[in-house]
Structure 1
Amino acid sequence: MRSPQDRIASMKLHLLGVALAAAIAPGVAAAQSKDATTAELKEQIAKMQAQLQQQQQAMQQMQQRLSELETTQQAQAAAAPTVAPAVAAAAQPVTDADIPQQEPASRIHKPPSALAGVEEPPPSGYVRLGDSGNMVKLDVVAQTDMMFDNKLMPYKDLFIPAGIPVEGQPFHDSHMQSNLSAKQSVVRMDFRRDTPYGLLKVVYKNNFFGFGGPDMDYNLQYLYGELEAKDYSILAGYYLSGFTDISVFPNTLDYEGPNSFTFKYAPQFRYTPVIWRHGEGRLTLPMTLEKPNADIALISDNQTYSKYPDVTLGLRYEAPDWHIQWSNLFRNLAVQSASSDRTRSTEAYATQLTFAAGVFGDDSVQGWVSTGKGYANFLQDITGFGLDAAFNPSLDLEATDAYAWGMGYTHAWSDAVSSSASYGYLNINPDFNVFIDQSLPDTTQYASLNVAWQFSERAMVGAEWLWGHNKTLAGDTGDAQRLQMTFRYDLNP
């Protein structure tokens, strides 16, 4: 079907033809017949004029119709919403300002040998999750450790002085063994979003030091949420104990680290108010309620339990170049007989002082000391040995005294090469009359020395020498050494 514009154009051509025919008609008529009368010519002219008038009227009607259609179309176009062509929105980069940090940003140099995925990551590397308001940073660490021990060690993937065979025990005089492990590989996800109350963080992390089998067993380390405001923070979930100061963990390639370090994970609720600020520094009062996990040398049909959660209360001052923390632990250790329902309990407590500081350019130093009774399950070397408490001849519980200290030092040879050394000392002192296995550790020592090279932004290679000493409650001793070589890829440090 033709449009009104096409019809008008056709009508104009037709009228032009009629006009031309009218102009030449007299000449044509004269040529055809000289006998044509004046009356006949007038009659023909009148007919042509009538036809021309009809065509003009039809053209005017069509022009009016065209004007009405154009007016209607313009009105419809004005009323319709403007639809912009779809354009893919460019992804907005996440900047440091999008992830404000309430804690003072540390200026202590992080060496290549530092454990990957342990502390909070820097703001770079986050991406937005659509228009949800959430941001996420994914980090995957692939690491392989090759280890050579001078004797057979019961814990092949970890260097634990408390497990070193002593005189009279199997494998005390065994030969060198080798092992490869990828259990230090890590998957970590950090989620962030702004809320009216502050910055909300949700953190997930796992490695592969589970206990289901010999290789690559899933092991959850972090799964917690934290609301961080200017004057306080609230944390809930599964995370390091409030008695653990991970900021002073020395830079060892060995995952276990010094024997005397207090290291424990626990489901918990933590509240940390800021009570004083000075320049770039601040003083906080961290306090936690944690799942209790009494580790007691049991006899008969007793089972362990605790009347109330573990409680930690600390005082921490932190500045960009150093920090110091005083932590206190309060516990209840109890057992109950399955047959008689008789219960026995004892109180336990511990106190600890930790510090870390940047010194001499990019060098750093770390130190810790702790003492108390009934906190063996928090000490790295003897957790799980049943040394929190033991029964005396009256079948009452007595918490085991313990004392531990250690230190670490890291020297930066350059921006990409560093060496770290560490030492740890641990001693337990149970009452002489308690029922306790005399083959368990009385004193252990640990030393490490390494060199690490960050040969690219996301790859590191290093080597470490380890030494351990174990002395049992019976007085028997044993020593062991390990050489460890490490290769690591870090996707998004």
Structure 2
Amino acid sequence: MRIHPHQIRSGALPLLLCAAFLPTSIQADDSAEIAELRKSALEMQRMMDRMQARIDELEKKQASQAQALSQAQNSRKPQPIQPVEKAARNNTAEPTNLVEAMVPERIGKRSPVTYRQTLNDRQIPASRPLDYTVDPEYRGFFAIPNTPAIIKLNAKARVDMTYDNRNAGSKARFVPAKFPLKGSPEFGGGGQFNMNANGTQLSADVRAPDQPGDFRFYYQNDFFGDDSADMKYRLQHIYGQYFGLKVGYSQSVWENPDVWPDTVDYEGPNSVIFARRPVVQYTHAMNDCWNASFGIEKPDFFVDAPQKQTRIPDFALNTRWENAKWGHVQLSTILRDIGARDSFGQDHHDFGWGVNLGFNLNATEKDSFQFLGVVGEGIGGMGNDTSFLNSDGGFNSDGSFKALPYWSLMGAWTHHWSDRYRSNLVFGHADLDPASGMDPEFYDFSNYAAANMIWQIRERWSLGVECLYGFKQAQNGNDSDDVFRFQMGMVYSLF
């Protein structure tokens, strides 16, 4: 049973009154006992005062704890998300909430390369020198707990609808090298419609912008792994980069990802370089504008022979000039050994080489031009069109082996009508000189053309419509006739 202090006080008061008014005779006889009672009453009073003070102290402490609990509960309510640049400025002091603590402490250094935000973005995955990035705001990144790293997990959902005037050889891709030739059973066939989501991408980007070495780990895949079926996994990139050294599976040093035109067609022009392979690459920046990369790469070549023979890796080198106002220029070269074993078990080798020059020129605030010129021998397997063929080496009719000569040109123009609408015109030509012992209907050359209109509905939501034209001719003069495709594509990116 709990006794309140006020109850004890009310019980002690009558004792004091009785002690004060006792008859004199009794007081005289019992003076010692009364003195003892008075002493007990005073001690009880002092004890009650101490108890009251302790109760007051506990009540104040309880009220303070209740207030702290209420504040903690309120702090767990969702906080408004701050822009990264605002949070970065706030990080000069101690973070005041979880959101500020989860963003990088500074904004990255923007690359001089023009980031064109194309529908098929080839620029984000590309490695950059120094601490350059095409996305200096680190949009979509969040901190990895107990580490100095930040990560962005992104998904680009995509759907494409196409209509071809005849059989194009591939329903989901537009590849002139695969067009059926006149006279073949596959030629013709009338109009054909297709709808697919194979261009959907998943990616992970890990960085540590505040640590020395400009660390980056990047992963990306799409679903073009099988031309005969939809949504088959295909790895595009998985690499790590640290102090300029890049190791993993990614694009060749010989490729230029910044010249790919802005097409709705996911495959892209026939004449660009597309090479995904295991690489060891080192990039050195001479200054803010000039840098060079050297790569040792897997010799992934394609020959018209029973078996290919590899003796040494491919060696690739590029040098780049980058300027935020004008754009960039890249000159690249590759050296390789092309080898094959014939049906008699004898090995044959030939020297392969290639040179390409590519640039993006910012002509005005609304107009830019992209160009790529390629020439060499034994390099057809890295052409975007001829990579579907045994286009690096073949046997002549006299049994000799040679690296096949190849050249290509690509030109594109981009015009921004407004912040939300842009158009592109693209043309590509790819030319291959097969060996005399190869099939007479083997690829000779192809043409590619595209014209489109792209609507940027929202920052991360795009819709494009495009007209495509393709043509292929074989060595004997037979051709595919003209192939037209109308395509509509929609892309939505989380970040």
Question: 1:2-39 CA distances to partner (integer Å, 9 max, x unpaired)?
Answer: 79x95x983x656543331133222xxxxxxxxxxx86
> 1:479 is paired with a residue of what secondary structure?
coil
Describe the shift of the 1:154–1:20 C-alpha distance in structure 2 as closer, same or farther (beyond 3 A): same
Describe the shift of the 1:473–1:39 C-alpha distance in structure 2 as closer, same or farther (beyond 3 A): closer
Matched, 1:152 2:170: no
Aligned to 1:288: 295
Matched, 1:267 2:278: yes
Describe the shift of the 1:337–1:467 C-alpha distance in structure 2 as closer, same or farther (beyond 3 A): closer
Counterparts of 1:486 and 1:379 in 2: how far apart (Å)? 25
Displacement, 1:191?
Answer: 1.6
Matched, 1:238 2:246: no
Contact 2:177/2:388, CA 8 A, preserved across alignment:
no
Question: 1:422-476 CA distances to partner (integer Å, 9 max, x unpaired)?
Answer: 11111112344xx211111111111111111112333222211111111101111
Counterparts of 2:15 and 2:105 in 1: how far apart (Å)? 80
Aligned to 1:43: 29
Question: 1:123-148 CA distances to partner (integer Å, 9 max, x unpaired)?
Answer: 22222233433222232222221111
**Alignment match of 2:124 (pick from 119, 127, 142):** 119
Describe the shift of the 1:57–1:191 C-alpha distance in structure 2 as closer, same or farther (beyond 3 A): closer
**Alignment match of 2:417 (pick from 413, 420, 424):** 413
Aligned to 1:491: 493
Displacement, 1:109?
Answer: 4.6
Residues 222-261 of structure 1: matches in 2 within 5 Å? 222-227=237-242, 233-261=244-272
Aligned length: 450
Aligned to 1:168: 183
**Which residue identity lines up with residue 387 of structure 1 in the other structure?**
S
Contact 1:269/1:289, CA 8 A, preserved across alignment:
yes
Q: Percent identity?
A: 25
Aligned to 1:19: 16
Contact 2:444/2:474, CA 8 A, preserved across alignment:
yes
**Alignment match of 1:352 (pick from 349, 353, 356):** 356
Larger-Rg structure: 1
Matched, 1:319 2:323: yes
Counterparts of 1:284 and 1:268 in 2: how far apart (Å)? 18
Counterparts of 1:317 and 1:207 in 2: how far apart (Å)? 31
Aligned to 2:333: 328
Displacement, 1:218?
Answer: 1.0
Describe the shift of the 1:479–1:195 C-alpha distance in structure 2 as closer, same or farther (beyond 3 A): same
Counterparts of 1:307 and 1:54 in 2: how far apart (Å)? 108
Describe the shift of the 1:451–1:65 C-alpha distance in structure 2 as closer, same or farther (beyond 3 A): closer
Matched, 1:90 2:98: yes
**Alignment match of 2:151 (pick from 118, 125, 136):** 136
Describe the shift of the 1:474–1:97 C-alpha distance in structure 2 as closer, same or farther (beyond 3 A): farther
Contact 1:190/1:202, CA 8 A, preserved across alignment:
yes
Contact 2:309/2:347, CA 8 A, preserved across alignment:
no
Describe the shift of the 1:415–1:20 C-alpha distance in structure 2 as closer, same or farther (beyond 3 A): same
Counterparts of 1:64 and 1:465 in 2: how far apart (Å)? 94
Matched, 1:383 2:390: no
**Which residue identity lines up with residue 348 of structure 2 in the other structure?**
R
For structure 1, the residue ranges without an aligned partner over 5 or more in a row are 27-37, 78-83
Contact 1:109/1:363, CA 8 A, preserved across alignment:
no
For structure 2, the residue ranges without an aligned partner over 5 or more in a row are 62-67, 77-96, 126-133
> 2:34 is paired with a residue of what secondary structure?
helix
Contact 1:335/1:344, CA 8 A, preserved across alignment:
yes
TM-score, normalized by length of structure 2? 0.82
Displacement, 1:93?
Answer: 7.3
Aligned to 1:306: 310
> 1:445 is paired with a residue of what secondary structure?
strand
**Alignment match of 1:427 (pick from 410, 431, 445):** 431
Aligned to 1:100: 108
> 2:17 is paired with a residue of what secondary structure?
helix
Aligned to 1:473: 475
Residues 177-216 of structure 1: matches in 2 within 5 Å? 177-194=192-209, 196-211=211-226, 213-216=228-231
Contact 2:112/2:327, CA 8 A, preserved across alignment:
no
Displacement, 1:402?
Answer: 0.9
Displacement, 1:208?
Answer: 0.9
TM-score, normalized by length of structure 1? 0.82
Question: 1:101-156 CA distances to partner (integer Å, 9 max, x unpaired)?
Answer: 363252x6546xx3146535622222223343322223222222111111112111
